[in-house]
Structure 1
Amino acid sequence: MTSLVVPPSTLGSSFFSWFASSSSNNSLNPPKIFRKTPSNAVALYPISLKSSNRPSFDRFPRTKIWATLGEKDPNGAAPLQVVEESSSSIVDEEVEKSVKVLKDAAKTRRVAAEEVLSALSVLEKAKLDPSKFFNTLGGTSSPGRTWMLIFTAEKKLEKGRYFPLTAIQRFDAAGKRIENGVFLGPIGSLTFEGRMSWKNRILAFIFERIRIKFGPLEPLEISLGKKDEREPSSKDPFFIWFYVDEELAVARGRSGGTAFWCRCRRVNT
């Protein structure tokens, strides 16, 4: 069977509690039974602090305008020359610094929670262009891409913490499938799988079945009784995505909590 594992030494363990958002309980507190990290973790590639894959901005730049009347401006322009100085570079710099903070946090898990919360706030407010988010998140072919949950924050970004368990989410943009799971190495795993849809920056999903695996035994599959084939909508659990590049993804869940993920590898075991 194909399972998802990640390196505890590089990124630490975390548990993706948002798979429970398909029900009415959106608690961020993981059950004690899952407090263990698998030992056979594999990294996709080390987190870099480069931000060359930053999305572009979908906003009109604010401008600073000055005009000279009867004399040249400091740059030698003709009289009555109107000069526009874009402030988008300032916003761009703030985003770049915030992305660096989060990637450093994913790599070391030592960045203070207050710094992580501040970086998440900057990315939420930046209003980046989401046109490339979906394909970056879920790839262009099945089975898609996998991401490990690193940090979760409460509503309004008042508090947050690194997730203590190994939790992976798989997005398949081509097949419009989603899988959330917690992985316990040789002990086993628990995964939720279903279908998803994308509109603008909102990814809605419906879970259809659960798989439970114990040790080397074949997994037990349980249907959740979702027989209708309607497309998931905002009435279902969803994520609102604020930032996605090849290594990092930031989103807010239906309950109002914000989290960020780091790209990880899907391996066969």
Structure 2
Amino acid sequence: MEAESSDLNSIKSILYRAADTKQTDGATVISNLLSAEKLVKSETKKRAADDFDVTSELRKNLAGTWRLIFTTGTLKTQQALNTKINYFPLTARQSFTESGSITNSIYLGSKFNAFKFSGKYDLVYLSNGVIRVEFDFEKLRLLDLFDITLGSGALEVGEKTGLGSGTGIKKDDGKKKAFFNWCIADEKIATARGGGGGIALWKRE
């Protein structure tokens, strides 16, 4: 296991390597994800205090398609399996647009789209330095053949890719939305923590 770094650039270099090779020790990936979460949270809080528009910046940085590389799974999943999930064994891609659309796709192999969830997302800055990505999945495209309109059960969709959103959050209209507390989104990787407690690493495609 590599020594944990307190420098964000050094942390990113380790996570870049993990995303590219899937060879970095799982414990090293987790410790660096946690370190990045702490450092970015502190920096975001400082920038927001200076009236920098941190949500608009993240919206731009999120735009594109991301492949899920590594996840600890939700706390519920960890307890059920008595283990932590590491490198994600299936092909799962998440896409964002600057206009507020989100998709989450699960593939059979690397190309056949078995499940594609789509909906809308929004960004909310929290006073503790966290930028929360709140989202609702509204539609499921199954086997790339037909569409299903989703109801409240869409909150559980995140758990299918190991990150999870199990707790959801209550909105003013009484509805619940799933969420990620986002950390990094740059030209190579993204990292975030889900409402269910899982922390994950994606690679930009």
* TM-score, reference length from structure 1: 0.53
Q: Which has the higher helix share?
A: 2
- Secondary structure in structure 1 of the residue aligned to 2:32: helix
What is the Cα deviation at residue 189 of structure 1? 2.1
In the alignment, which of 214, 220, 227 is matched to residue 146 of structure 2?
220
What is the Cα deviation at residue 208 of structure 1? 0.7
Change (3 A) 1:225 1:154: closer
Work out the CA distance in 2 between the residues paired with 1:186 and 1:113: 26
In the alignment, which of 58, 65, 80 is matched to residue 146 of structure 1?
65
In the alignment, which of 162, 174, 180 is matched to residue 239 of structure 1?
180
2:33 aligns to what? 120
1:73 aligns to what? none
Change (3 A) 1:195 1:98: same
1:78 aligns to what? none
What is the Cα deviation at residue 159 of structure 1? 3.8
Question: Is contact 1:149–1:262 with CA below 8 Å preserved after alignment?
Answer: yes
CA RMSD of aligned residues (A): 2.5
Change (3 A) 1:262 1:255: same
Question: Is contact 1:151–1:163 with CA below 8 Å preserved after alignment?
Answer: yes
After superposition, the C-alpha distances for 1:221-249 in whole angstroms (9 at most, x for unaligned) are 111147xxxxx959410000111111111
Which ranges of structure 1 fall in alignment gaps of 5 or more residues? 1-91, 139-144, 227-231, 265-269
Work out the CA distance in 2 between the residues paired with 1:190 and 1:222: 11
2:204 aligns to what? 263
Question: Is contact 1:241–1:250 with CA below 8 Å preserved after alignment?
Answer: yes
- Secondary structure in structure 1 of the residue aligned to 2:177: coil
Question: Is contact 1:117–1:160 with CA below 8 Å preserved after alignment?
Answer: no
Work out the CA distance in 2 between the residues paired with 1:187 and 1:177: 22
The one-letter amino acid of 1:111's match is T
In the alignment, which of 11, 15, 23 is matched to residue 98 of structure 1?
11
Give the length in aligned residue pairs: 157
What is the Cα deviation at residue 117 of structure 1? 0.8
Question: Is contact 1:155–1:255 with CA below 8 Å preserved after alignment?
Answer: yes
- Secondary structure in structure 2 of the residue aligned to 1:125: helix
1:179 aligns to what? 103
2:158 aligns to what? none
What is the Cα deviation at residue 121 of structure 1? 1.0
The one-letter amino acid of 2:141's match is R
- Secondary structure in structure 2 of the residue aligned to 1:96: helix
Question: Is contact 1:133–1:245 with CA below 8 Å preserved after alignment?
Answer: no
After superposition, the C-alpha distances for 1:107-133 in whole angstroms (9 at most, x for unaligned) are 111000011011101111112328122
What is the Cα deviation at residue 167 of structure 1? 0.4
- Secondary structure in structure 2 of the residue aligned to 1:237: strand
| Bigger Rg over Cα | 1
Change (3 A) 1:112 1:206: same
- 1:134-213 to 2 correspondences below 5 Å: 134-138=59-63, 145-154=64-73, 159-174=84-99, 176-184=100-108, 185=110, 187-200=112-125, 201-213=131-143
- Secondary structure in structure 2 of the residue aligned to 1:164: coil
The one-letter amino acid of 1:119's match is N
- Secondary structure in structure 2 of the residue aligned to 1:118: helix
Work out the CA distance in 2 between the residues paired with 1:220 and 1:155: 29
What is the Cα deviation at residue 97 of structure 1? 1.2
Identity %: 34
* TM-score, reference length from structure 2: 0.69
